[in-house]
């Protein structure tokens, strides 16, 4: 009797994926399809926004946006399980990898998460039930690991305990100051803003305002506890709501709206039913608005967002 190490490894991998999966009799097809449509729209909008974000129009990102839009159209019009859909996904994955490679090392860290998502989508055959379950589980694991790791980093560095990191961001960037000033006293806000231009560690950046300290510590606590709740089926649905509200609110405050929408797309996968289907149209509208704000910021009375 021969031993098949590859088959054994695949079996272990599927068991690990199953920890984040749903019951075997649960269909994942429509849930995965909705995720793919939203993800391709996200990649297209991300490139369109990047093409307008610089002082001048960036033709390369505009071309990438057109290509992502073409791949999305091919996917939607392609036959389920057919070569057109597979080709569209692999071309989108290759383009995203090319963007990360050509912009390295200045590439935004959120691009790596986008790259992982589209690579998973391309690797698994969504129209096969077993592959579809593995895809949803892999994407769930990715979100859990990313969220937990960010909280673990904050815990180990210890710069959130007394609010130093967020206070430094208030001093350094207007977008953080506009949001977080409501959680600290006016005197402390003036003091922290007066530290603008100082290097990290050249503070004092420690904050004493109670509400600010609650917000600062709640960030890393939720980033560590929500992923655990997402992995336990009895608390998964409630944790999914908490994850979506928490991550999107956090990124909205930081004006990193694209990352907030990506997290929302991943968070919607944790519901047992394919509720993300009902969010396709609203999310398409939001992406269209973000493109509009990036291209013509005077058209809408919104603060200038960081589309990282």
- Is 289:300 a contact under the CB 8 Å cutoff? yes
138 phi, psi to nearest 5 deg: -65, -40
Question: Burial level of 83, CB count in 10 A (0-12/13-18/19+)?
Answer: exposed
Would you kindly state where each structural domain of the chain is located, as residue ranges?
Answer: 28-163+207-295
Q: What pLDDT does 299 receive? A: 63
Q: Which residues of the chain have pLDDT under 50?
A: 1-6, 305-306
Question: Burial level of 158, CB count in 10 A (0-12/13-18/19+)?
Answer: exposed
- Cα–Cα distance, 289 to 179 (Å, whole number): 21
Q: What pLDDT does 219 receive? A: 93
Token couple for 242: 């908490």
- Is 200:172 a contact under the CB 8 Å cutoff? no
Question: Which stretches of 78-160 are DSSP H helices?
Answer: 83-103, 109-123, 129-157
66 phi, psi to nearest 5 deg: -65, -40
Q: What pLDDT does 4 receive? A: 45
- Cα–Cα distance, 220 to 174 (Å, whole number): 22
Q: What pLDDT does 54 receive? A: 55
Question: Which stretches of the chain are DSSP H helices?
Answer: 5-19, 29-53, 59-77, 83-103, 109-123, 129-157, 164-172, 174-180, 186-193, 210-231, 233-254, 257-267, 280-295
Q: How far is CA 154 from CA 19, 34, 161, 218, in A?
A: 26, 33, 9, 11
The SS3 assignment for 256 reads strand
- Cα–Cα distance, 189 to 209 (Å, whole number): 10
Q: How many Cα neighbours within 13 Å face the side chain of 204? A: 6
CB within 8 Å of 245: residues ≥ 6 apart: none
Residue located via tokens 């096969």: 128
Q: What secondary structure letter does DSSP report for 278?
A: G
Q: What pLDDT does 6 receive? A: 44
Q: What pLDDT does 189 receive? A: 86
- Is 251:305 a contact under the CB 8 Å cutoff? no
């Amino acid at each position: 009797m021969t031993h098949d190490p590859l088959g054994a490894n695949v079996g272990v991998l599927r068991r690990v994926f199953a920890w984040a999966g749903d019951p075997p009799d649960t269909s994942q097809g429509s849930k995965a399809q909705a995720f793919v449509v939203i993800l391709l729209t996200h990649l297209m909008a991300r490139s369109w926004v990047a093409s307008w974000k610089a002082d001048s129009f960036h033709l390369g990102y505009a071309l990438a946006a057109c290509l992502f839009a073409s791949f999305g159209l091919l996917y939607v019009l392609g036959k389920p399980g057919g070569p057109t859909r597979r080709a569209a996904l692999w071309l989108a994955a290759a383009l995203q990898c090319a963007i990360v490679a050509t912009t390295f090392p200045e590439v935004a860290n959120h691009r790596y998460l986008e790259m992982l998502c589209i690579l998973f989508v391309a690797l698994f055959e969504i129209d096969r039930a077993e592959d579809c379950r593995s895809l949803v589980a892999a994407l769930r694991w990715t979100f859990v690991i990313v969220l937990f790791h960010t909280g673990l980093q904050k815990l180990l560095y210890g710069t959130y305990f007394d609010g130093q990191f967020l206070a430094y961001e208030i001093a350094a960037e207007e977008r953080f100051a506009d949001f977080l000033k409501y959680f600290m006293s006016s005197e402390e806000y003036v003091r922290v803003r007066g530290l603008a231009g100082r290097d990290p560690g050249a503070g004092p950046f420690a904050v004493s305002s109670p509400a600010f300290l609650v917000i600062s510590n709640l960030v890393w606590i939720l980033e560590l506890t929500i992923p655990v709740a997402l992995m336990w089926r009895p608390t998964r649905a409630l944790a999914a709501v908490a994850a979506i509200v928490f991550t999107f609110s956090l990124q909205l405050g930081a004006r990193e709206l694209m990352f907030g929408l990506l997290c929302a797309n991943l968070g919607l996968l944790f519901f047992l039913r394919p509720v993300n289907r009902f969010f396709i149209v609203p999310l398409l509208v939001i992406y269209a608005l973000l493109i509009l704000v990036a291209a013509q910021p005077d058209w809408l009375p919104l603060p200038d967002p960081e589309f990282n």
